[in-house]
Amino acid sequence: MKHKRTRLSGTSIRNRIVVTVLATVVLVSLLGTALSGREHAARLMSGLKAESQVLTSVFGDTLSDPLWDYDYLMVQQRLEHLVDTRAVIGARVFDNRGSKLAEVLTDRFDPDAAADYLVFDHRIVAQSGEWVGTLFLWVSTEGVSFEVWRAIRYDAATAGILAVITAVVVFVGVNLISGPLSRVADAMVRIGEGALDTEVPERGRDGEVSRMADALEQLRLKSLRVEQAERELRRANAHLEQRVTERTAELETAREQAVEANRAKTEFLANMSHDLRTPLNAILGFSEIMRAGAFGPLGDPRYEEYVEDIHHSGSLLISLINDLLDISKVEAGKYELTEEVVDIRTLVHNALRQIATAVEGAALTLATHIPADIPALRGDSRVMTQILNNLLSNSVKFTPRGGHIDVSAWTDAQGLIHMSVADNGIGMTKEGVAKALRPFEQAHNARAREHNGTGLGLHLCDNFMQLFGGSLEIVSEEGKGTTVIVVFPLERVIERKRSA
Ligand SMILES: Nc1ncnc2c1ncn2[C@@H]1O[C@H](COP(=O)(O)OP(=O)(O)O)[C@@H](O)[C@H]1O
Ligand SMILES: [Mg+2]
């Protein structure tokens, strides 16, 4: 954290601004110095030229009399006087034929350093108007260079001082700006790294930096809230996952328990039914003998009535026990179907013969609708008879006197064989139908029923149909009647050609 802070301030905007401003000041000063130096030099030079021009002509004119008088000594003396003064470093006088008459050269005179001097000339004319000679003056420009360099040095020094002052001012000024900025930037970096408890400096004042700091604080608070929400979400998730795992385990245990309980129940039923059947058979057998009076009359007519009751109750019990035994076998998957060819017309005919007395007793009419060419079925005739008996006995039980029962069988378009038992009896509600299919449940309450039952018949029929790979459907309307349809799968249908 510490080294980051230094690095941040080190490459700061402040330094960049200082360097930029400083470079600009230096550049501008240099340019200014160069320009003003050039101008200064030009001005000095032109001044020197004008001055020297005047000097040459005025001084030249003073030589016209001595030249006219051939007083060359005087000319020489005057030249020596002149050369002593000012920037003149050499002087020569020629006559009109080009012969040198007088010459003064200082030790500064160097004809090779052409850049360091200027040469001026003047034709000397006598009062008579006759050309008597020519004056040449060599004037040094060193003075000018010296002046210019001095001015440049002065300008450069001024610029240098200016640059230093500028640098200091800019440094201090920018520091005032970049200080808060770099503090906010430091906080921003720390918050960016995830240290959301970082305090944001420079807040609550005027200006851009403060506004930035305020925004950063908002961001920090928002991030804090998001982080907290995420944490809570994770916690809730973990809790939920744990609950799901627990519930799954509970459900699995419950399922295992249910499977085990069901298995125990089936086993119990099977054992019980088997153990009950033996004594019941004895009760039935002996009551049958007594009822028939095989060894002589019972005597009192009440005994005959009792024996009748004993036999009737025994029959009900044995059929209940047989149903129970069948159900437990089917549910345990232990029921073995006998696979044989079953002729539907014969099957129905036999079933109707068994129920005929009951139908008559209930004053019902009965009709069958079975096509002569209906295919045979591969099935278990004992089980199929049991199904038919159940359906028929229900119709007899739940159809009031004068009612009608229809037994039909047909093949549908797909070739499946359907069998149905329909009546116009008391019917069932929708819930009644669902109840009727469950074991031990009945669609009507006890008062509505005139007959006793165990509630096992339809459940057993449904289970048998599943064993056949077929299905059982109940279509019923309260007060109108009931139709129960069983459907056998295609693989159980035997074409007439083969069965005929
Ligand atoms: N043909 C029918 N008409 C009206 N209700 C019926 C018919 N068949 C069955 N039920 C209803 O379905 C219930 C269950 O029938 P079932 O399983 O055969 O048991 P049970 O005959 O011993 O009562 C019956 O108690 C009755 O309420
Ligand atoms: Mg029944």
Determine the Cα–Cα distance for residues 418 and 212; give it in Å rounded to an integer: 85
pLDDT in tens, 74-88: 889 988 888 866 688
User: Structural domain boundaries of the chain?
Assistant: 2-177, 336-499
Phi, psi of 11 (to 5 degrees): -95, 30
Out of 108-117, 220-229, 307-316, 476-485, least confident range: 108-117
Res 424 pLDDT > 80: yes
Percentage of residues in the chain having pLDDT higher than 70: 94
- In ligand 1, which atom is closest to the CA atom of 437? 17
Centre of ligand 1 from the C-alpha of residue 450, in Å? 12
Extract the tokens encoding 428.
Answer: 């069932």
For ligand 1, whether the C-beta of 439 sits within 6 Å is: no
Same CATH fold, 336-499 and 2-177?
A: no
**If you average pLDDT over every residue of the chain, what do you get?**
87
Residue 35: pLDDT over 80 = yes
Ligand 1 close to Cβ of residue 483 (< 6 A):
no
Which ligand has an atom closest to residue 441 CA?
1
Span 138-145, average pLDDT: 85
How many angstroms separate the Cα of 155 from the Cα of each of 144, 152, 179, 273? 16, 5, 35, 130
Find out whether the beta carbon of 459 lies less than 6 Å from any atom of ligand 1. Answer: yes
Q: Higher-confidence residue: 414 or 328?
A: 414
Is the C-beta atom of 395 inside 6 A of ligand 1? Answer: yes
Q: Is 463 in the pocket of ligand 1 (CB under 6 A)?
A: no
458 ligand 1 Cβ < 6 A: yes
In what side-by-side order are the strands of the sheet with 365-369?
Answer: 365-369, 404-411, 417-423, 481-488, 471-477
Instruction: Please check the confidence at residue 127 and state whether its pLDDT lies above 90.
Output: no
**Beta carbons within 8 Å of 219's beta carbon, 6+ residues apart:** 191
Q: Provide the token pair at 368.
A: 């069958």
Residue 165 has pLDDT above 90, yes or no: no
Nearest CA owner, ligand 1 atom 12: 436
Distance 462 CA to ligand 1 centre (A): 13
What residue owns the CA closest to ligand 1's atom 8?
Answer: 394
Q: Is the CB of 32 under 6 A from ligand 1?
A: no
3-state secondary structure of 126: coil
pLDDT, residue 307, reads 93
pLDDT of residue 240: 95
Is the minimum distance from the CB of 405 to ligand 1 under 6 angstroms? no
The token duo for 111 is 């004809």
Mutate to test the pocket of ligand 1, among 364, 396, 458, 459 (most ligand atoms within 8 A of CB): 458
Strands 404-411 and 417-423: antiparallel
Share of the chain above pLDDT 90, in %: 46
Predicted TM-score (pTM) of this structure: 0.52
444 CB less than 6 Å from ligand 1? Answer: yes
Mean pLDDT of 157-176: 83
Q: What confidence category does residue 266 fall into, taking pLDDT thresholds of 50, 70 and 90?
A: confident
What pLDDT is recorded for position 268? 84
Which residues 6+ apart lie within 8 Å of 374 measured at CB?
Answer: 344, 345, 409, 410, 411, 417
Q: What is the pLDDT of residues 383-407, one digit of tens each?
A: 999 999 999 999 999 999 999 999 9
Which residue of 323, 398, 465 sits with most ligand 1 atoms within 8 Å of its CB, as the best mutation to test the pocket?
Answer: 398
Count CB-CB contacts under 10 A for residue 416: 16
Fold of 2-177: Beta-Lactamase (3.30.450)
The pLDDT value recorded for residue 332 is 78
Compute, in angstroms, the gap from residue 394 CA to the centroid of ligand 1: 6
pLDDT tier, 7 (very low <50, low <70, confident <90, very high otherwise): very low
The tens digit of pLDDT for each residue in 37-52 reads 889 889 988 998 998 8
Is the CB–ligand 1 distance for residue 436 below 6 Å? yes
Q: Which of 2-11, 173-182, 285-294, 345-354 has the lowest mean pLDDT?
A: 2-11
Question: For the segment 428-467, what is each residue's pLDDT rounded down to a tens digit?
Answer: 999 999 999 998 888 887 644 456 677 889 999 999 999 9
The CATH superfamily of 336-499 is Histidine kinase-like ATPase, C-terminal domain (3.30.565.10)
Atom number of ligand 1 nearest to Cα 395: 1
pLDDT, residue 499, reads 43
Helix runs in 332-343, H state only: none
* pLDDT > 90? residue 319: no
Read off the tokens for 417.
């064989």
Does pLDDT of 12 surpass 70? Answer: no
| Residue 484 CA, closest ligand 1 atom number | 1
Q: Is the CB of 138 under 6 A from ligand 1?
A: no
Tell me the CA–centroid distance for residue 442 and ligand 1, in Å.
6
**Atom of ligand 1 minimally distant from the CA of 455:** 19
Q: Give me the residues near ligand 2 (ion), CB cutoff below 5 Å.
A: 394, 457
Instruction: Map residue 483 onto helix, strand or coil.
Output: strand
pLDDT of residue 446: 62
Instruction: State the pLDDT confidence band at 11, using cuts at 50, 70 and 90.
Output: low
**Per-residue pLDDT, 500:** 41
Pocket flag, ligand 1, residue 428 (CB < 6 Å): yes
Which residue among 394, 423, 435, 444 is best mutated to probe the pocket of ligand 1, counting the most ligand atoms within 8 A of its Cβ? Answer: 394
Q: How far apart are CA 283 and CA 315, in angstroms?
A: 10
Tell the residue nearest (CA) to atom 24 of ligand 1: 442
The ligand with the least distance to the CA atom of 456 is 1
Ligand 1, atom 11, lies closest to the CA of 443
Q: Ligand 1 within 6 A of 455 CB?
A: yes
Residue 115: per-residue pLDDT: 65
Residue 66, ligand 1, Cβ within 6 A: no
Residue 414 — very low, low, confident or very high, per pLDDT cuts 50/70/90?
Answer: very high
Token readout for 96 is 């009109």
Sign of the CA dihedral with 368 first, then 369, 373, and 374 last? negative
Q: What confidence score (pLDDT) does residue 146 get?
A: 86
